[in-house]
Amino acid sequence: MQTTVQTIHKGFSNGVIPMPYTIARYACGHGVEMKYRDERSNCHSPENWLIQSGAVVDCFKCDQNREAVQRIIAFAQTPEYSHTTLRDLTASKTGEWMAFCTYRVDRTSPTQCRLEMSVEATPETERALVEAGIRFVPGPSRGSMARL
Ligand SMILES: [Zn+2]
């Protein structure tokens, strides 16, 4: 999916010798490490960047999300489909790593289900799932959900 470079963030790695790096943040919310003309040259110098602010770029992560959403929608049509949850995979409260987790019915599991696939929660993935009629509940799975 095409998006634009919104901001460029310069930072240093954590380590004995902090190494400079640069992240290009896209309008879609994703980001990638900058591609440089010369990796050994100054990573913080705009002259060394192959992507500049405002540039139109293809977002690989958006493409991956779109494919994952299509797999979830297809799986939800099958009898093996149990339910989908929206959960924070890091167990933190930041909301930065929220994911839609889709479960398969598994009568041998104490929870009556097991994780089949997941996709990053973004405004785009949420809209696509809602439009496909897939409802999701917050939080980790409880066994009773498999019987909903
Ligand atoms: Zn993206």
User: Distance between CA 136 and CA 131 in Å, rounded?
Assistant: 12
Asked if 86 contacts 138 with a C-beta cutoff of 8 angstroms, the reply is: yes
Question: What tens digit of pLDDT does each residue of 117-147 get?
Answer: 999 998 899 999 999 999 988 766 554 444 4
CA of 133 to the centre of ligand 1 (A): 23
CA of 97 to the centre of ligand 1 (A): 14
User: Distance between CA 108 and CA 91 in Å, rounded?
Assistant: 26
* Strand 20-26 versus strand 2-12 pairing type: antiparallel
pLDDT at 31 over 70: yes
CA of 128 to the centre of ligand 1 (A): 15
Give me the sign of the Cα torsion angle 90, 93, 95, 99.
Answer: positive
DSSP 130: H
Question: What tens digit of pLDDT does each residue of 51-97 get?
Answer: 999 999 999 999 999 999 999 999 999 999 999 999 876 655 555 67
Beta-bridge partners for 9:
23
Q: What's the confidence (pLDDT) of residue 92?
A: 54
CA of 145 to the centre of ligand 1 (A): 31
- Answering whether pTM is above 0.95, one says no
CA of 31 to the centre of ligand 1 (A): 7
Q: What's the confidence (pLDDT) of residue 94?
A: 53
CA of 113 to the centre of ligand 1 (A): 30
Which of 21-30, 109-118, 138-147 has the weakest average pLDDT? 138-147
User: Distance between CA 73 and CA 91 in Å, rounded?
Assistant: 26
CA of 29 to the centre of ligand 1 (A): 6
Asked if 65 contacts 119 with a C-beta cutoff of 8 angstroms, the reply is: yes
Q: C-alpha angle with apex 130: 140 to 98, nearest 5 degrees? A: 35
